[in-house]
Amino acid sequence: MTEWSHDGPPTGSSSDPQGRPSASDPLGVAYYASRRGALGDWWTLLHPPYTVWNLSYVVIGATLAPRVSVGRLLATMLAFFLAVGVAAHSLDELKGRPLKTRIPSWALALATTIGLGGAVILGVLGLSRVGWVLVPFLVLGPLLVVTYNLELFSGVLHNAVGLGLSWGSFTVLVGYVAQTGRLALAPLIAAAGAFTLINAQSNLSARARLVRRKSVCLEGRLMTNDGTIHIDAPWLLEPLERALRALSWSVVLLATALAVARLG
């Protein structure tokens, strides 16, 4: 049996006080969490695999357009990095400290403000090129960030469906609209695909977070026809996080291939 304290790490371990992995404790708040001081905290906060995954949907949406403007694509990616990578993740950490970073609350609040403000400014600047069709997305984007991460309206969006719609479908559609100023069937189909992939990610990561951040005690064994497997936290986490890594890389590589094909 492996037993944890209520703070997360196994009893008697020398785990980092912020809940990140140490030599004696393989568990941490996330497989990509860093132990490198303040910079490591910001790295962990950005959730690099998931942020790049989200930006890949911008690329996928943009490359479905008949013509691709590199300038618009870069501006859209920057807006989503600020809104999701910086603001949404800072807001999430500000509410409940799930990553156990030591980033001051004022710094998280400032990052949220700068991130959302920067994304909105980029969107407003894009109105002159894209048109008024961008306005609903400009309004909906910040609302999704705040509603999802603060679990407003009884957490109606804080679930796998809300995550898929917000960080999957919405991202693909904005990537396309920023290029064309309209919607079409192809990006709608791609948005549905992004939704299902984000839904898969949400289900896998929810179980991984449960093991890493909330488990107090774990005991079990699996009897097979060729022996016994002792079940522990790393055994449970390995297939979940291998799948998460594979999914994130596959979406990034797909987006890269589309960008090379369209822009190369």
DSSP for residue 230: E
Distance between CA atoms of 251 and 253, rounded to whole angstroms?
Answer: 5
Q: What's domain 30-187+237-263's superfamily in CATH?
A: UbiA prenyltransferase (1.10.357.140)
Q: Which residues contact 176 (CB under 8 A, 6 or more apart)?
A: 61, 62, 64, 65, 183, 184, 186, 187, 190
pLDDT of residue 26: 53
Distance between CA atoms of 2 and 24, rounded to whole angstroms?
Answer: 13
3-state secondary structure of 47: coil
Residue found by looking up tokens 């497997």 in the block: 229
Q: Which two tokens stand for residue 66?
A: 């008949």
Q: Report the DSSP pairing between strands 227-230 and 221-224.
A: antiparallel
Per-residue three-class SS string for 143-181: HHHHHHHCCHHHHCCCCHHHHHHHHHHHHHHHHHHHHHC
The whole-model pTM stands at: 0.87
pLDDT in tens, the chain (264 residues): 444 433 433 333 334 444 444 444 457 899 999 888 899 999 999 999 999 999 999 999 999 999 999 999 999 999 999 999 999 999 999 998 999 999 999 999 999 999 999 999 999 999 999 999 999 999 999 999 999 998 888 888 888 899 999 999 999 999 999 999 999 999 999 999 999 999 999 999 999 999 998 887 777 888 988 888 888 888 999 999 999 999 999 999 999 999 999 998
Distance of CA 95 to the CA centre of its chain: 16
Residue found by looking up tokens 């809300």 in the block: 162
Q: Which residues does residue 180 pair with via DSSP β-bridges, in sequence order?
A: none
Q: Which two tokens stand for residue 114?
A: 């700068």
Distance of CA 94 to the CA centre of its chain: 16
Q: What is the CA radius of gyration of the chain?
A: 20
